[in-house]
A and B are shown apart, each in its own frame.
Chain A
Amino acid sequence: MAMRDANGRQTSIQRIRTRVFQLIDRAGDTPKARQERAGRRVQQVVGVLGLKIVMAYCFGIMLVIHVADVRRFAEDNWNSRTKIETRRGDILDRNGVTLATSLRADSVSVDPRWVLPPGYLPWRAPEDPLPGAQLIDEAAEAEAVALAQEEKKPKKRDKSKSKTMKFDDPIAVQLRATVAKRIAEVTATPLSEVTERLAKPHGFTYVAKHVDDQAARALKSMKSRGLLPGVTIQPDWLRYFPNNQLAGALIGTDQSTGSVEQSFDRILRGQVVELVSAKDVSAIPLYYEGAPDPGLYGGRSVKLTIDEKIQAVAEHHIRQAVIEREADFGIAVVMDVQTGDILALAETSGMNPNDTDKPPVPFGWHNIAIENQYEPGSTFKVFTVAAALQEKVLKKDEIIPISSPVVIGSKVIKDDHPHSQCNWWQCLQVSSNIAMSKIAMRMKKETFGDYLIKLGFSKRVDTGLTGEGAGQLAWPPDKWPLIQYANIAFGQGIAVTPLQIVAAYGTLASGGVYRRPRLVREVRSPDGRHDEQFPVDPGRRVYDAEVAKDTLFAMASVCQPKGENSLGGTGTQARMPNYSIGGKTGTAQQVDPKNGRYSETHWVGSFIGVTPIENPRLVVFAAVDNPKKFDPKLGKVMRYGGAIAAPVVREIGRFALPYLGVPPSPGAPYLDKNDPEKARRDDEARRLAANKAADQLIKKDAIAQIGAQMAAVAGASAPELQAAAKAQVGKPGQTVGNAAVSQGNMATATGNDGQALADAQAPHAGDVRVPDLRRLPMRSVRERLHAAGLVLEAHGSGVGTVQGPLPGAMVPKGTVVHVNFRRMSDGTDVPQPVALNSNP
């Protein structure tokens, strides 16, 4: 409202002022106009704000359109990706007995720098980057500078900001001592060791590897309560070999050459599985969405052709021979003729893959049974005879004079056991070098060489094991000097591996068909989709069946004692009750690696047997390297294969044939031909006896192991404790193996009351109660049984399902407790309910 004078007119000054106001603000008018203008202003202000909302919304649209640019960050935010190492596959024998398995055993590591009270960070020098943090941008630096400025003013110090603590701060030192004490108590590690590990500010160190389940659980619960700052419990696997030394070098570790563990590492090794999980800002996985079942990504199991019991017997006897003859080492191989399966591949280093502290003597971490190659000597003569028969240069009615040595140049070939003459098979029986060289001369070198190649010599057998020897054979054969050819005819001047010569003998045993030896039967994957079968080699014919049969006849004569029409074979010690055997002894001079000449002292005595000779089932090889035992009766070192290796073959065959259920040979000694029923019963009894004997043998090794472990714990001498353990086992009424299982059956029959049955049996003094092992992982089972002085025989892997003897039974110490294990689908040892009346 403009001012007016008395007449209601505006003064000139007022009029100017009104105009000015109108120009500036268009004021000085009616309230209504003013109200309108004010309303327009309100419109403008509110419109600007509304526009801001719309603008922000447009930004939101742009963000959504360009979502691809930031999707990566979103994925990082939401998903935690953890790589987990899945379980390594088992190694099984041909019957599914576990030879190597993996047990869940977590490891405990610690970062000593982070052993600090909650809310504290490790102190760092200003120029060092904060461990675990990445200060990369200036903004963060600026913030750090601002923080530093604030820290100068103590009253402004904010409690919510993290503080730092030096490594040698008294609080940190005390906390480390507490943490070390907690870890040491739970994991039963020496306190001094843990304290030492925590003493230095290094980034990461293991304080305890492979702790047991209970300790891991306890540690995890302590960690969740914040009692173990800086400590990490990592999932880990412990490789465990239930049989310790049994097939030790063959199973080996992933560091030993020629071992299944190393050679089939790619099959056995579990895949690394990436688990994708939703996570929150503190990177704690919340739940797994469509996570792969880690059990399905575990390593594949390798099922070998090895038979645990035959292997145990072979190892036992070859070890006995080596000890008796004071030899360097010995090798024994058992092959199934019909399939080419290697049933046993024994050597005597006594490698125990569970104990990797010091390498075994004398070869370290090597499987000598695979790597070894040696000059076969006389065992090679059968191939000369067979080739000559095949080439029809050896007549069955001719007589070969062998009285005078063969002279080739300056070299003279002569026999150890001189005879005047021999026929086609006697030359093998008496192992005549002269006869062999003469027979060989009738063939072309190339012809003979071709037979050797067909038999697989100088070529790796290719069982899949690393470091396998290939043997040595000079090539081409037409370049052989005559003396070398003659030497090769009786097995000198050529190097073979045990598997090669076993396979070549197998050729003769299977009617002239060469089959590649097989060591791996099949590979099984956890999900069953990547299984692999290794079929039996169909074989290739090398000799006619007739030739092979004739050669076997000649080999049988080697084991014949002196008699009518028999000059007396060199391998008579290989004969065994009930089963006929044929074979060939070998006593070969070895080349001294120092001077490249044949050594006068280094011999290998070997014997290769084929049994039973009528319908061959097994080829058994035994070789004892460098025997040094002086025999006072002979007045020299006994080194003949017929004396030192043939008994090993006999013992192995004596066990393995009944064990495999091979019917006794018709012409063999001790066979009761008149009463077939009795023969059958004897047969069955022999089979059971063989089984039991093998169990005893495996158990005896286990006792030695227990003794050693007890000695290690108690500090007493091992032999004493072994004797004590043996005394415990030797008690009458003990239950082992099948007996234990039958006891379990009885318990089931009498109303599933193992406890009552066990109580009813009068316990011996010093007997121990069998713990309840069901639903326990193998590791705990093993520990509990060891604590009780019992021996575990594990079947399968995973969680204990059925055991025999039943829990609560009183048994002598050292008793074998059979436990069936079943693995859960996810590869973990999650116990599942098990029906108590399951039949063991």
Chain B
Amino acid sequence: MAPPPVATDAQSPAIAGVLPDEFMDSLEDADLGGQTRVVPPRAMPKGDAALVYVPVGMDWAALGTILALMTVGIVMAFSASVYVALHNFNGDESHFLTRHLMHAAVALFVLIAAMRFPYQAWRKLAYPLLIFAIGGLVAVLFFGKTVNNATRWIIIGGFPFQPAEFSKIAFVIYLAHSLTKKISTEAVHRFSVGFLPHAIVWCIAFALCMREPDLGTGIVLAILLFSMCYVAGTNMAYVIFVGLLGMGGLAAFIMHNPMRLARFVAFLHPELYRQTTGFQAFNAQLAVATGGLFGNGLGMSRQKLGFVPEAHTDFILSIIAEELGLIGVALIGLAFVFLMARGLRIAMRARDEFGRLVATGITVLLGTQAAVNFGVVMGTLPTKGLTLPFVSHGGSSLIVLSLAAGVLLNVGRGGNPDFAWPELRLPRLWRRRDEEPERPRNTRIHRAKAKISGGIS
């Protein structure tokens, strides 16, 4: 078989320098005369189909991590909510547990459904979802239910729902879709094309969030905007400039309102304001401190007796720290870091730009929520109303984040609706001599070979 003519691009010095090593390896591989089909660069599909990385397939580890976090959440939210349930719900100590289990059942269903739903189809739903989310944020201003001085809930058919939670995933899908379009037109670098429209959408969402008020969601949306634009390739200069502007605006925003300023000052010195503004933060840190390395034991928290407000939702990590100690917190943190690593892997090996951006957005969404929650509980960030994904009690958050996780896993599977159940392989304790696998001589080439063949076929 005669090798096809080599494309001029490959010899162009301007481009050759930036060709990936794997590609060069593939040429070497061809020279070796192996069984691998050598693909000339000319024959490489262009556009989205040009990807070389193989989708990771069904990420069972990530799914397992999510389910484990949800299980921990059910146990710990029950433990942390007993006091509130006893006091506010006529002594029904399992009030929150039953609701949490119902939410978890729905969330599991949503997760599996989203996992089987080809993610490319979300592109068609991007704008309807965005309009729906914005509409929800507007509706909550008129029909919302006020709890703790914030109007965040809207009652649909007897079930409370937070449009702000939904707006996060809608914003991720919208951004991914929009940025993919801009990338394909190569205008994503431009401020007016790559950044401004998204920033305007964010401004609308942010303004609506602040009416509730819900600064946390607004900031999460901002982080999504910046990180996804950055990943999509928007010029960093704009991003940094606008980011600095936004931080100045935020500072002015905090300084303007004495109550917000008081809260910020309390964040800096919670022990001085432990009776008033810093009550929540101080007591959360007290819980972490007294929990120690190994914790007081499951169910043995004292700070959950009303001292840590929202102990079962936003501040559940403090109760975990008190009951299970820093060891338990470390396991939770490792679970999130692992989840993010898997998300990163899915994003890097996504089949197309949209998939990569969606996966990035969802990973950032989960990571931001987890990081901010950790920071708030440990006292490195001021108090925000953000849940710990999959762990905190709260139906909207759990279901929406499960949907996001489902989409992420589907991206990992390359949009494939079906998946094979993993083979159950028991580890072999010994190996017969004749079964010993051949060690590849040239690992680098071997890997490239495998990737190329896998990527094309």
CB within 8 Å of B: which residues of A? Answer: 1-2, 8, 10, 15, 18, 21, 24-27, 29-39, 41-46, 49-50, 52-57, 59-61, 63-64, 66-67, 70-71, 73-74, 77-78, 134, 136-140, 142-143, 145-146, 158, 160, 278-282, 286
Interface of A is mostly: helix
CB distance from A88 to the nearest CB of B (A): 35
In the bound assembly, the distance between CA atoms of A143 and B262 in angstroms comes to 7
CB-CB under 8 A from A78, the residues of chain B are 302, 305
Q: How large is the interface on B (under 10, 10 to 19, 20 to 34, 35 or more residues)?
A: 35 or more
When C-beta atoms are compared, the residue in chain B nearest to A136 turns out to be B275
Q: Add 12 more A-B contacts to A30-B18, A57-B378, A142-B261 (CB < 8 A).
A: A25-B189, A25-B233, A27-B233, A32-B51, A42-B344, A45-B227, A53-B333, A61-B326, A67-B290, A137-B275, A139-B266, A146-B257
A22 to chain B, nearest CB (A): 9
Q: Which chain B positions have C-beta within 8 A of A278? A: 302, 305
Flag if B189 contacts A57 (CB, 8 Å): no
Which listed segment binds A: B97-105, B137-145, B369-377?
A: B369-377
Given the complex of chains A and B, what is the CA–CA distance between A587 and B14 in angstroms? 141
Q: Which of A25, A34, A52 contacts B235 (CB 8 A)?
A: A25
Alpha-carbon separation in the docked complex, A71 to B380 (Å): 20
Which stretch in B126-134, B198-206, B335-343, B406-414 binds the other chain? B335-343
Judge whether B222 is part of the interface by a CB distance below 8 angstroms. no
Knowing A32-B51, A53-B371, A67-B290, say if A46 contacts B285 (CB, 8 Å). no
Taking Cβ atoms with an 8 Å cutoff, the residues of B that contact A are 8, 14-15, 18-20, 23, 46-48, 50-53, 83, 146, 148-149, 186, 189, 227, 230-233, 235, 257-259, 261-263, 265-266, 271-278, 282-283, 285-286, 288-293, 302-303, 305-307, 321, 326, 329-330, 333, 336-337, 340-341, 343-344, 347-348, 353, 356, 360, 363-364, 367-368, 370-372, 374-375, 377-381
Q: Are A24 and B235 in contact (CB under 8 A)?
A: yes
Which residues from B are CB-within-8-Å of A280? 83, 305-307
Which of B263, B307, B371, B381 has a CB less than 8 Å from the CB of A281?
B307
Which 10 A-B residue pairings sit nearest by Cβ, starting from the closest?
Answer: A281-B306, A49-B367, A56-B374, A280-B305, A52-B371, A39-B348, A140-B276, A59-B378, A142-B262, A31-B50
B230–A41 touching, CB < 8 Å: yes
A76: shortest Cβ distance to chain B, in Å?
Answer: 10
B363 touches A286 (CB 8 A): no
The answer to whether A42 and B265 have CB atoms under 8 Å apart is no
Taking CB atoms, residues of chain A closer than 8 Å to B23 are 32
A146 to chain B, nearest CB (A): 4
Roughly how many angstroms separate A208 CA and B273 CA in the complex, as a whole number? 40
Known contacts being A18-B14, A60-B378, A160-B149, is A42 close to B305, with CB within 8 Å?
Answer: no
Q: For A59, give the chain B residue with the smallest CB separation.
A: B378
Among B231, B235, B277, contact of A42 (Cβ-Cβ < 8 Å)? B231
- Residue contact B20 to A143, C-beta cutoff 8 Å: no
**Shortest beta-carbon distance, B258 to chain A, in Å?**
4
Cα distance A50–B274 in the bound complex, in angstroms: 30
Contact status B285-A33, CB under 8 Å: no
How far in angstroms is the closest Cβ of chain A from B315? Answer: 13
In the complex, are the beta carbons of B306 and A32 less than 8 A apart? no
A67, B374: Cβ atoms closer than 8 Å: no
Chain B: minimal CB distance from A51 (Å): 8
Say how far B64's CB is from chain A's closest CB, in angstroms: 19
Residues of B within 8 A of A70 (CB): 271, 285-286, 289-290
Q: Which residues of B sit under 8 angstroms from A52, Cβ to Cβ?
A: 371-372, 374-375
- A280→B307 CA distance, assembly (Å): 7
Give Cα A54 to B276, complex, Å. Answer: 29
Given A49-B367, A143-B259, decide whether A60 and B321 contact each other with a Cβ distance below 8 A.
Answer: yes
CB distance from B106 to the nearest CB of A (A): 27
A137 to B262, CA, bound (A): 10
Known: A35-B51, A142-B262. A53 touches B336 (CB 8 A): yes
> In the assembled complex, how far is the CB of residue B42 from the closest CB belonging to chain A, in whole angstroms?
12
The distance in angstroms between the C-alpha atoms of A21 and B233, with both chains bound, is: 11
Q: In the complex, which residues of chain B have a beta carbon less than 8 angstroms from the beta carbon of A67?
A: 289-290, 292
Asked if B378 and A46 make an inter-chain contact with CB atoms under 8 angstroms apart, the answer reads no
Report which residue of B23, B283, B289, B336 has the largest number of chain A beta carbons within 10 angstroms of its beta carbon: B289
Asked if A32 and B378 sit within 8 Å, CB to CB, the answer is no
Q: What is the CA–CA distance of A61 and B321 in the complex, to the nearest angstrom?
A: 11
Give chain B nearest CB distance to A686 CB in angstroms.
Answer: 69
Q: Find out whether the CB atom of B189 lies under 8 angstroms from the CB atom of A30.
A: no
Nearest residue (CB) in B for A52 is B371
Q: Which of B189, B321, B343, B347 contacts A39 (CB 8 A)?
A: B347
Partner of A45, one of B235, B283, B364: B364
A39-B348, A146-B259 given; A139·B276 CB < 8 A:
yes
Q: Which residue of B lies closest to A71 (CB)?
A: B290
Across the interface, do A32 and B291 meet the contact criterion of CB distance under 8 Å?
no
With both beta carbons as reference points, the residue of chain A lying nearest to B369 in the complex is identified as: A49
Q: How far is the CB of A24 from chain B (nearest CB, A)?
A: 7
Q: Is there contact, CB below 8 Å, between A54 and B286?
A: no
Report if A53-B257 is in contact (Cβ < 8 Å); known contacts: A18-B14, A30-B15, A46-B341: no
Complex Cα–Cα for A657 and B341 (A): 102
- Taking a contact as CB atoms under 8 Å apart, the answer to whether B149 and A158 are in contact is yes
**A73: chain B residues within 8 A (beta carbon):** 271, 274, 282, 286
Q: In the docked arrangement, what's the CA distance between A18 and B371, Å?
A: 38
Query: Are A279 and B305 neighbours in the complex by a CB distance under 8 Å?
Result: yes
- Nearest A residue to B276 by beta-carbon distance? A140
> Is the beta-carbon distance between B348 and A42 smaller than 8 angstroms?
yes
Q: How far is the CA of A78 from the CA of B265 in the complex (A)?
A: 26
A27: chain B residues at CB < 8 Å are 186, 189, 233
Contact A24–B189 (Cβ < 8 Å): yes
Which residues of chain A come closer than 8 Å to B277, judged between CB atoms? 139-140, 142-143
Knowing A27-B233, A56-B374, A67-B292, the reply to whether A145 touches B360 (Cβ < 8 A) is no
What residues of chain B lie closer than 8 Å to A56, measured between beta carbons? 371, 374-375, 377-378, 380-381
Chain B residue at smallest Cβ distance from A57: B333
B290: chain A residues within 8 A (beta carbon): 67, 70-71, 74
Q: What residues of B have a CB within 8 angstroms of the CB of A281 in the complex?
A: 305-307
A162 to chain B, nearest CB (A): 13
Complex: A33 Cα to B44 Cα, angstroms: 14
Residues of A within 8 A of B149 (CB): 158, 160
Cα–Cα, bound, A26→B20 (Å): 14
Which single residue of chain A is at the shortest CB-CB distance from B360?
A: A42
Instruction: Report the bound CA distance from A27 to B263 in whole Å.
Output: 44
Residue of A nearest to B325 (CB): A64
Q: With A42-B360, A45-B364, A64-B291 as given contacts, are A30 and B347 in contact (CB-CB < 8 Å)? A: no
Which residue of chain A is the closest to B257 with respect to CB atoms?
A: A146
Which B residues lie within 8 Å of A38 (CB)?
231-233, 353, 356
A67 to B293, CA, bound (A): 11
Q: Can you list 30 contacts pairing A with B, beta carbon distance less than 8 Å?
A: A18-B14, A27-B186, A38-B232, A41-B233, A45-B227, A49-B364, A52-B372, A53-B336, A54-B333, A54-B337, A56-B378, A57-B333, A59-B375, A60-B288, A61-B326, A70-B286, A74-B303, A77-B286, A77-B302, A136-B275, A139-B273, A139-B276, A139-B277, A140-B273, A143-B262, A145-B258, A146-B258, A279-B305, A280-B305, A282-B306
Q: In the assembled complex, how far is the CB of residue A11 from the closest CB belonging to chain B, in whole angstroms?
A: 13
> Cα distance A41–B371 when bound, in Å?
18
Contacts of A8 in B (CB 8 A): 8
Chain B residues near A59: list those with CB within 8 A: 375, 378-380
Q: Contacts of A146 on B, CB cut-off 8 Å? A: 257-259, 262
Report the Cα distance A143→B264, complex, angstroms: 12
CA distance A74 to B286 in the complex (A): 7
How far apart are B388's CB and chain A's nearest CB, in angstroms? 11
Cα A44 to Cα B230 in complex, Å, equals 10
Interchain CB contact under 8 A, B371 and A64: no
Considering the chains assembled together, what is the distance between the CA atoms of A136 and B341 in angstroms? 47
A43 & B344 in contact (Cβ 8 Å cutoff): yes
Q: How far apart are the CA atoms of A10 and B8 in the complex, in Å?
A: 12
Task: Find out whether the CB atom of B367 lies under 8 angstroms from the CB atom of A50.
Answer: yes
| Chain B residues closer than 8 Å to A77, beta-carbon distance | 283, 286, 302-303, 307
